[in-house]
Amino acid sequence: MRIRNVETFVVKVRGPAAYLGSLADGSALTEEQGYRVREPWLSLYSALFETLLVRVEAEDGTAGWGEALAPVGPEIPAQVVDGLLAPQLIGADATAPRPAWARLRSLMRERGHLVGHQADALAAVDIALWDLAGRISGLGVAALLGGAHRTRVPTYVSGLPSPDDAGRADLARRWQERGARTVKLHLGNGVDADLATVDAVSAAAPGLALAVDAHWRYTPSQAARLGRELADRGAVFLEAPLAPEDVEGHRRLADRIELPVAVGETLRNRYEFAQWLAAGALGLAQPDVGRTGVTEAASIAEVCSAHHVPVAPHHSVGLGPALAAGVHVSAATEYSPFFEYQPTTVETAAELGFHFDAHPDGIGLGSGPGLGLEVDEERVRSAAVRHRSTR
């Protein structure tokens, strides 16, 4: 069975609310404003949910779907797929995602492009290839990876999108009532402000376990103080405390605090994770399958296992295939304590026709072949602002 066509769909849709809520002053982020930096965070955000979907079709008409985590500028990895990757796939074995991955990752490797947009494009294609192989064989992706350790993946609720602590505390109380067990706070507002938020949320929802994402905002001394205070409060982990390139700084921090340091959303391959693991710079690995692909995510999980580091996949605005792929990888990973649950992302995915058995305390693996997704192709095509086909 050979591949006969590869299609890309740049999709930009409005969700029930912008990812992570309003701007710092409480006003809404609007489409007319374009990409904006949303303080206290440092990176660009969109008012829309933006993504790149990839469809890979075999000669019998069976199609697999993939997705890149591309919340800003999905046109860029789409161009990589169209111009560099898709032509190499036409005529390739539709049931062999690993050999395809080995070929594709080498195309620009000697030029230093195993990361960034090239990696995002590779991830989308790789997810589609695993979905396609699963649909042809009748097996789920987790089964193709060797089997699922669990059919329901535990989750933590990511973010309490309110601009003040009273609002965050109220949201936490509601999530606890709906069955959530763990919530991650998106902070980075200063150590004292972050701790005040943690205390307010803990008081309102004492049954919730809490984690903190600091969004790379702190110096080593600030992060150490925050980590010690969070450990005293029984926090689950501290994510992204320092500049994302600073391996040594994270190593020193990990030595200073009794709390797992969580890192991974910026990393794309096993070699990057191996460097961090060898340095002892992270205690919880967070690869995003929308940036690594299934093949590399599975390899990352094995490298982490050799260092006794659990894997909790990152997930933000991937709408369908990326979320499903992350759940399958998590299910097939022996020590994967939880998966990141983004409520507005799941709602937006449903508007595109991607439905999940997702709840505040867990996401079901599903029983269908491949990623287990039913794809409303007409809805995807109508939502695309850019579409290309390579035969």
Full-model pTM:
0.97
Between 165 and 32, where is the model more confident? 165
Q: What is the pLDDT of residue 366?
A: 85
pLDDT surpassing 90 at residue 42: no
Q: What is the pLDDT of residue 41?
A: 83
Position 138: which residue type?
G
Question: Of 363, 387, 374, 371, which Cα lies nearest the Cα of 154?
Answer: 363
Between 35 and 29, where is the model more confident? 35
Q: Which residues contact 177 (CB under 8 A, 6 or more apart)?
A: none
pLDDT in tens, 95-116: 999 999 999 999 999 999 999 9
- pLDDT class for 32, splitting at 50, 70, 90? confident
pLDDT surpassing 80 at residue 26: no
pLDDT in tens, 115-160: 999 999 999 999 999 999 999 999 999 999 999 999 999 999 999 9
CATH-assigned architecture of domain 3-138+375-390 = 2-Layer Sandwich (3.30)
Question: Of 312, 308, 299, 237, which Cα lies nearest the Cα of 268?
Answer: 299
The tokens for 140 are: 């789920």
Mean pLDDT, rounded, for 328-347: 96
Question: Of 343, 299, 302, which Cα lies nearest the Cα of 323?
Answer: 343
Could you tell me the residue ranges of all domains in the chain? 3-138+375-390, 144-364
pLDDT in tens, 200-244: 999 999 999 999 999 999 999 999 999 999 999 999 999 999 999
CATH-assigned architecture of domain 144-364 = Alpha-Beta Barrel (3.20)
